[in-house]
Amino acid sequence: MDNELEIHFPVETDLVELIWGNETVYPWNPSNPMADHYFSIQDHSFSVTAWSANELSPNVESFFAGLEELWNGFKSETESLLVEGYSDVDQQLLNLQLQFGVVPMGIIERIVNCAHSLYHSNLSLLEQLTVCVHGAFPHLDHEDLWVLARPFVYAMRSGDMVERLVDIHRNSQWHTLSDVEQARLGLAIAQVILSSRDTL
């Protein structure tokens, strides 16, 4: 009876043996002693030694210079396409999104709309900053926002504080930031808007 099974399924067993039998598994643990053997075989199968260092060096430099040129052209072209045809407010929103990329667009829009509504108000700069940000972060107390906003009022003259804050959080994710860090970014956005109100 066993012979009948072997006779009827030799093709299937040969196929399974072919698929699973001689497969070389990639060594996921580089400290494994067998990994050195695997990598040396792979290195020998890929022959870079056909070129000398003198041949590779100028080609590599020109390749990366070409990539850099393409990237810069693409980046400037994309930015100019994004900015064309927008109203002043839309262009301001776009510029703020480019500058404060970590901040969600909805929060930027709320702060911008609030700042535009305060353009002709008699509130102090400190009050304007806190009102703008409180609209986007209603769960924060006004007193806490006042404390956070004071350095921004004093820094309105130089703008260095905004640049430092943007640099610190450039590679951050919004949801990983604390409420205080999010509020500071909101205050930085409000500062940029309120300080540029004369140009709109």
Provide the whole-model pTM: 0.53
**Local confidence band at 82 (pLDDT 50, 70, 90 cut-offs):** low
- Average pLDDT for 89-101: 78
Higher pLDDT, 143 or 153: 143
- Residue 163 has a pLDDT of 75
CA-CA-CA-CA torsion sign (160, 173, 118, 80) = positive
| Whole-angstrom distance, CA of residue 184 vs CA of residue 151 | 10
Higher pLDDT, 87 or 19: 19
Backbone angles phi, psi at 121, to 5 degrees: -85, 165
Residues of the chain above pLDDT 90, percent: 0
- Residue 69 has a pLDDT of 82
User: Which residue in this structure is represented by tokens 């509504």?
Assistant: 117
Higher pLDDT, 149 or 50: 149
Over 70: is that where the pLDDT of 99 sits?
yes
- Residue 113 has a pLDDT of 87
Highest mean pLDDT among 3-12, 36-45, 83-92, 120-129: 120-129
Higher pLDDT, 198 or 188: 188
- Average pLDDT for 75-95: 64
- Residue 46 has a pLDDT of 66
**Local confidence band at 195 (pLDDT 50, 70, 90 cut-offs):** confident
- Average pLDDT for 77-102: 68
**Local confidence band at 65 (pLDDT 50, 70, 90 cut-offs):** confident
**C-alpha distances in angstroms, 176 versus 14, 120, 187, 199?**
54, 36, 18, 34
Q: Which residues contact 26 (CB under 8 A, 6 or more apart)?
A: 38
Residue 92 burial by Cβ neighbours in a 10 Å radius (0-12, 13-18, 19+)? buried
Higher pLDDT, 157 or 65: 65
Q: In 3D, which of 102, 106, 75 has the Cα closest to residue 93?
A: 106
